[in-house]
């Protein structure tokens, strides 16, 4: 089964199973790139604890993200069973409210046909991520969060794709100013290499189930 996890209080030092060390290297590369983007952007970045706009609505995660999250949730259960139980309960409640899931209900794997993509576009748009602590406004599984979560906010680019930024950041900035803050998140394509052609995706709630 696919899994998803992330945590903020306290920082989780999740243990890697055999063969997952390369994922840790990927995370280190991505986090270093994001730190540089934040440094270059300065006051343009408004992301902070309690800013949860990017935590609302489902988004696809890879099997690499899922494995990382699964390991993080297991460790959270060891150090803070009550918090882990709340995460699992929110995931279960999320799935109970989720109609017409565009994928396999047993595995949580999303379908990749055109109809599924259309259905996903309107899937539970107002639902908060199950990993989000609704009272604190922070992620209960922050240290093991997916790459998408790690890279949201500053001006980033993946490969030859367009630059992505949070709509709340860079208010009043000109295109040239944003471009000056841009970073390449994964210049060597490590994530793609680690996935090795595995294109399966799921969502956070199924990964935490």
| For range 28-48, the mean pLDDT | 95
Tokens of 177: 């100013």
Of 21-25, 33-37, 155-159, give the lowest mean pLDDT range.
21-25
Residue 186 has which token pair? 């994964």
- Largest interatomic CA distance in the chain: 48
| Cα distances (angstroms) measured from residue 168 to each of 44, 66, 159, 162, 177 | 9, 28, 24, 18, 15
Task: Supply the DSSP string of 150-204, one letter for each residue.
Answer: HHSSS-EE-TTS--B--TTSSTT--HHHHHHT-EES-TT-HHHHHHTT---EE-H
CA–CA distance, 16 with 28 (Å, rounded to integer)? 14
- pLDDT at position 160 is 73
Instruction: Please give the pLDDT value at position 5.
Output: 31
Q: What is the mean pLDDT of residues 110-134?
A: 90
Distance between CA atoms of residues 110 and 78, nearest Å: 30
Kindly tell me if the per-residue pLDDT of 14 is higher than 50. no
Q: How far apart are CA 153 and CA 168, in angstroms?
A: 8
pLDDT, residue 6, reads: 33
Tokens encoding 19:
């063969």
Which residues contact residue 37 at a Cβ distance below 8 angstroms, ignoring those fewer than 6 apart? 154, 155, 156, 181, 182, 183
Selection from 16, 12, 23, 119 nearest residue 62 by Cα:
23
Average pLDDT, the chain: 87
Q: Which tens digits make up the pLDDT trace of 82-96?
A: 999 999 999 999 999
More confident residue, 88 or 164: 88
CA atoms within 13 A on the CB side of 139: 27
């Amino acid at each position: 089964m696919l899994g998803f996890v992330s945590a903020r209080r306290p920082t989780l030092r999740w243990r890697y199973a055999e063969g997952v060390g390369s994922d840790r290297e990927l995370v280190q590369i991505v986090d270093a790139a994001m730190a540089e983007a934040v440094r270059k952007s300065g006051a343009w970045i408004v992301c902070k604890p309690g800013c949860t706009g990017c935590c609302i609505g489902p988004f696809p995660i890879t099997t690499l993200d899922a494995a990382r999250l699964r390991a993080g949730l297991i460790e959270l259960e060891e150090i803070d069973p009550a918090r882990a139980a709340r995460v699992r309960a929110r995931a279960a409640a999320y799935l109970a409210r989720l109609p017409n899931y565009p994928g396999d209900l047993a595995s949580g794997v999303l379908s990749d046909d055109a109809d599924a993509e259309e259905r996903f576009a309107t899937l539970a748009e107002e639902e908060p991520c199950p990993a989000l602590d609704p009272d604190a406004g922070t992620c209960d599984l922050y240290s093991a969060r997916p790459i998408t979560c790690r890279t949201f906010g500053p001006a980033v680019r993946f490969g030859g794709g367009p630059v992505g930024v949070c709509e709340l950041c860079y208010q009043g900035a000109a295109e040239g100013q944003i471009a000056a803050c841009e970073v390449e998140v994964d210049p060597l394509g490590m994530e793609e290499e680690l996935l090795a052609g595995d294109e399966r995706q799921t969502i956070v709630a199924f990964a935490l189930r």
